[in-house]
Amino acid sequence: MSQKKGKIRRRLFRVLIGTLIILFGLYIVFRAMVVLHPPDIENDGIAQLKRMQLSGNCFTLNNDWLKKSNSGLWEMYISGKPFERGVKAGILSRELVQDQEAVFIQMIKEMIPNEFYLNFLKYFIAWFNKDLDDYIPLEYQKEIYGISLSASPDFDFIGNKYQRILNYHAAHDIGHAVQNLNLVACTSFGAWDGHTSDSSLIIGRNFDFYAGDDFAKNKIVLFVHPEKGYDFATVTWGGFIGVVSGMNMKGLTVTINAAKSDIPLGAKTPVSIVARKILQYASNIDEAFEIAKAYNTFVSETFLIGSASDHRAVIIEKSLDTTVLYNPNNNYIIASNHFQDKAFSETKLNIENRANETSTYRYERVDELLNEFGELDFRNAAGLLRDQKGLGDKDIGMTNEKSINQFVAHHSVIFKPEERLMWVSTQPYQLGKYICYDLNKVFTGALSPGCNNAIIVDSLEIPVDTFLLTKKYTDLLYFKQFVNTTKNNKFNKVSETELKRFISSNPEYYFTYDKAGDYYQFINNKSKSAEFYNLALEKEISSKSEREKITKKLYDTGN
């Protein structure tokens, strides 16, 4: 009997060892398939360059520089070949690159506090993006590799530095694809001829990509003088070479807006990389369209293109397999988060998006304001981008996703392409003053490395929004703080006095009452909870899915 048991144990031991060998082999194969290796670099001696610190917030490296202006915006000038650009950007902005990654990782941990799911997400993204480098032009691989050399070693457990920085360029796309019901709700517009005060082309946009206030703390206004292509400026953050808002020296602008998308099955070109290629190599609308057509993307996207040479703006609409050019044949254009061209307008996804989400509402509000203003200039363009109201000037509550200004903007920009002028918002959101940059001074003037380059046009500065001086702004800060500290219904330290203050801080917003209903559910007061859910349903709710959630919670109270 003992001999038989011994044989069983030996057999189980061999099965166990065999299983471990197979699992180890599968892990080796997995690692071999998902680890992305840096591109070959002809001469990496440039990686040994050192920056010079001229003051607390001003650094130079050969002819390139980084400084923090009095506005609070970081400004950086980079030139040279791809790898050289990346290396210099990484060395000059090392602390910004590392801080930005730390903020991003912390945000992910707050969104997904479960360690098991975090690990699953890490391996899922590694597998999903295993071929990502095949879809990114070699030029940009080299630039990303150069920046990655300055990345923090603290996150090497996630992946090697190059692979991490490369993957972050697809974060917008993956987040958009996975969530899909919570689109990045950006709004942009263009106007010209009879719709502007001087008939010139004006472009405005809010980039409502919210990854927490800390993520937007260190915005960089980046000026690039590449070895090939056109000089350009873009609003970005540490470690990111893609483009979400930018203008080149040909007077071509690019801004991107997410659209409802089919779920991708594997890696493609990130939309920010497509936008970067357009900004660096296109001088007009036709060239921008040809570049956009050349790439397959992760997700559906719209690219609002303004062109000084064409004296108009259009929208390039791109799905996973189709690219079209939308021209309204008008003297103004609006982009929110839905397709407008007939090639996409009647698709199931687009119809659902327009009916159920905030895109159509924001589009109609921009249209309303453009016609109300009559002739647009850069000042009332800022007023439009700061608008908090709903259709017909209705008060729909602060931070409502149906608003143009949702108080989540990473940045807000205004372009006058024919004059090569660019206004960039300062903290907080788009409420701070807009700083005007003259690209002619940056790229055609005789700038020397240092802290005193005159690239800002003080006389064209747009003042801070007077909303910052009101009690409503104080209420907004309290409202946002309360929402942040009670995430996932953490009400155990909330008093009824604090809840009442919360309700009075934003009384026209449906979510205020939804949150109050959750509080009373937490303390098991179902009748009070039902009262607040009913109040929420009387307000302007941002989407069909939000209304359904509140209706279900009301049903669960039994009232």
pLDDT 10s digits, 452-493: 777 899 999 999 999 999 999 999 999 999 999 998 888 988
Distance of CA 428 to the CA centre of its chain: 16
Examine residue 194 and state whether it is found in any structural domain, yes or no: no
Cα–Cα distance list, 296 to 320, 339, 386 (Å):
6, 17, 34
DSSP assignment string, 350-415: HHHHHHHSSHHHHHHHHHHHHHHH-SB-HHHHHHHHT----GGG----TT-TTSS--S--SEEEEE
Which amino acid, residue 77?
Y
Res. 369: pLDDT tops 80? yes
Residues 332 and 324: their CA atoms lie apart, in Å, by 19
- For Cα atoms 53, 71, 143, give the angle at the middle one, nearest 5 degrees: 55
Res. 42: pLDDT tops 80? no
Residue of 67, 57, 92, 45 lying closest to 448 (CA atoms):
67
Residues 209 and 179: their CA atoms lie apart, in Å, by 14
pLDDT, position 423: 98
Residue of 408, 325, 402 lying closest to 364 (CA atoms):
402
Q: At what angle do helices 138-148 and 82-92 cross, to 10 degrees?
A: 30
Residue with tokens 């090569």: 420
- Yes or no: say if 326 and 338 are a contact pair by the CB < 8 Å rule: no
- For Cα atoms 204, 182, 313, give the angle at the middle one, nearest 5 degrees: 25
Q: At what angle do helices 471-485 and 496-505 cross, to 10 degrees?
A: 130
List pLDDT tens digits, range 260-274.
766 666 778 999 999
Examine residue 42 and state whether it is found in any structural domain, yes or no: no
Residues 409 and 473: their CA atoms lie apart, in Å, by 16
Residues 472 and 506: their CA atoms lie apart, in Å, by 8
pLDDT, position 6: 57
List pLDDT tens digits, range 399-452.
999 999 999 999 999 999 999 999 999 999 999 999 999 999 999 866 666 667
Confidence at 522, pLDDT banded by 50, 70, 90: very high
pLDDT, position 280: 98
Structure tokens at 412: 């807000």
pLDDT, position 173: 76
Examine residue 259 and state whether it is found in any structural domain, yes or no: no
Indicate the SS3 state at residue 21.
helix
pLDDT, position 183: 42
What total number of domains does the chain contain? Answer: 1
Confidence at 23, pLDDT banded by 50, 70, 90: very low
Examine residue 308 and state whether it is found in any structural domain, yes or no: no
Res. 1: pLDDT tops 80? no
List pLDDT tens digits, range 299-355.
889 999 999 999 999 999 998 889 999 998 899 999 998 888 888 877 777 777 777
Confidence at 30, pLDDT banded by 50, 70, 90: very low
pLDDT, position 41: 86
Contacts of 205 (CB under 8 A, 6+ apart): 186, 187, 188, 189, 245, 255, 304, 385, 412, 413
Confidence at 48, pLDDT banded by 50, 70, 90: confident
Cα–Cα distance list, 278 to 202, 247, 271, 317, 324 (Å):
19, 10, 11, 14, 15
pLDDT, position 418: 98
List pLDDT tens digits, range 129-160.
777 888 899 999 999 999 999 999 998 888 88
Residues 276 and 409: their CA atoms lie apart, in Å, by 20
Q: At what angle do helices 271-281 and 138-148 cross, to 10 degrees?
A: 110
Cα–Cα distance list, 2 to 5, 11, 13, 14, 15 (Å):
5, 14, 16, 18, 20
Contacts of 117 (CB under 8 A, 6+ apart): none
- For Cα atoms 31, 34, 37, give the angle at the middle one, nearest 5 degrees: 100
List pLDDT tens digits, range 357-367.
889 999 999 99
- Yes or no: say if 67 and 58 are a contact pair by the CB < 8 Å rule: yes
The dihedral over CA atoms of 211, 383, 249, 312, expressed in degrees to the nearest 10, equals: 110
Contacts of 459 (CB under 8 A, 6+ apart): none
- Indicate if the alpha-carbon torsion angle 29, 33, 37, 42 is positive or negative: positive
- Yes or no: say if 527 and 339 are a contact pair by the CB < 8 Å rule: no
Mean residue pLDDT across the chain? 88
Pick the more confident residue, 117 or 144: 144
pLDDT, position 235: 97
Exposure string for 443-482, b = 16+ CB within 10 A, e = fewer:
beeebebebebebbeeebebeebeeeeeeebebbeebbeb
The parent domain of residue 509 ranges over: 472-556
Q: What share of the chain is helix, strand, coil (3-state, %, to 5)?
A: 45, 20, 35
Examine residue 508 and state whether it is found in any structural domain, yes or no: yes
Indicate the SS3 state at residue 83.
helix
**What DSSP element (H or E) covers 279?**
helix 271-281
Examine residue 539 and state whether it is found in any structural domain, yes or no: yes
Q: Summarize the confidence of residues 166-171 as an average pLDDT.
A: 86
CATH number reported for the structural domain that contains residue 529 in this entry = 1.25.40
List pLDDT tens digits, range 188-238.
999 999 999 999 999 999 998 777 788 888 999 999 999 999 999 999 999
Examine residue 89 and state whether it is found in any structural domain, yes or no: no
pLDDT, position 24: 37
Residue of 314, 123, 108 lying closest to 211 (CA atoms):
108
Residue of 107, 223, 106, 205 lying closest to 154 (CA atoms):
106
Residues 142 and 154: their CA atoms lie apart, in Å, by 22
Examine residue 249 and state whether it is found in any structural domain, yes or no: no
